[in-house]
């Protein structure tokens, strides 16, 4: 009889072990299928370009691509006026039509940090929407989506997403 009880206990331990292993495997599979939470990042496509002011490269300016839905994507011009758009820290912009804004404020680099966080970009966008713009080195109309007169159509073909904005009074 003693051997029978030991065999039953051993079988019970094996069943528990199998149940635990199965639970772990199912948990890993569920996490793998659903991801680690949070909303999916939007698909973005390379978007670059050049900004000039009265025919000269505009350095240290912020360029924003503002879609009709969702957060804007931003970039900063270099000494040659060239920029690359970023969305949530990833290079590129969402495909579709965008209004474009360009801002440059007194003091080099004052318009946007070199590596803006998504929340920084949203704050800047909200200020632009409300018309709360600092005194700029270019006319304020270029810093608002509804008055800039600038637009871009971002396509899924990154090679076509090269834009030139020649700003004049």
Number of domains composing the chain: 2
CA dist 34 and 40 (Å) reads 11
Q: What angle do CA 52, 146, 51 make, to 5 degrees?
A: 10
In a domain, 43, yes or no: no
Q: Are residues 77 and 150 in the same domain?
A: yes
Which residue segment(s) compose the domain that 3 sits in?
1-38
Report pLDDT for 93: 96
CATH classification of the domain holding 147:
2.60.40
The reported pTM is 0.64
Q: Is 139 exposed, middle or buried (0-12, 13-18, 19+ CB in 10 A)?
A: middle
Q: Are residues 20 and 60 in the same domain?
A: no
pLDDT digits (tens, 9 = 90+) for 17-65: 666 555 555 656 555 545 455 567 789 999 999 999 999 999 999 999 9
Report pLDDT for 37: 54
In a domain, 95, yes or no: yes
pLDDT at 167 over 70: yes
Position 3 confidence tier, pLDDT thresholds 50, 70, 90: low
Q: Are residues 14 and 64 in the same domain?
A: no
Report pLDDT for 39: 63
Q: Are residues 119 and 154 in the same domain?
A: yes
In a domain, 138, yes or no: yes
Report pLDDT for 117: 75
Q: What is the dihedral of CA 106, 151, 68, 123, to 10 degrees?
A: -10
Q: Are residues 69 and 34 in the same domain?
A: no
Q: Are residues 84 and 131 in the same domain?
A: yes
């Amino acid at each position: 009889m003693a051997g029978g009880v030991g065999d039953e206990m051993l079988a019970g331990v094996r069943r528990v072990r199998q149940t635990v292993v199965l639970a772990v495997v199912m948990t890993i599979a569920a996490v793998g299928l659903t991801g680690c939470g949070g909303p999916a990042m939007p698909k973005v496509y390379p978007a670059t370009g050049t900004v000039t002011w009265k025919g000269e490269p505009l350095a240290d300016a912020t360029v924003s691509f503002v879609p009709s839905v969702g957060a804007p994507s931003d970039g900063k011009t270099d000494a040659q006026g060239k920029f690359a758009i970023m969305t949530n820290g990833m290079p590129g912009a969402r495909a579709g039509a965008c209004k474009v804004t360009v801002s440059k404020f007194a003091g080099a680099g004052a318009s946007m940090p070199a590596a803006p966080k998504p929340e920084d970009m949203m704050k800047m966008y909200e200020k632009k929407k409300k018309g709360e713009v600092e005194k700029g080195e270019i006319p304020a109309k270029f810093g608002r989506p509804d008055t800039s007169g600038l637009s871009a159509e971002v396509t899924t073909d990154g090679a076509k997403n090269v834009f030139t904005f020649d700003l004049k009074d």
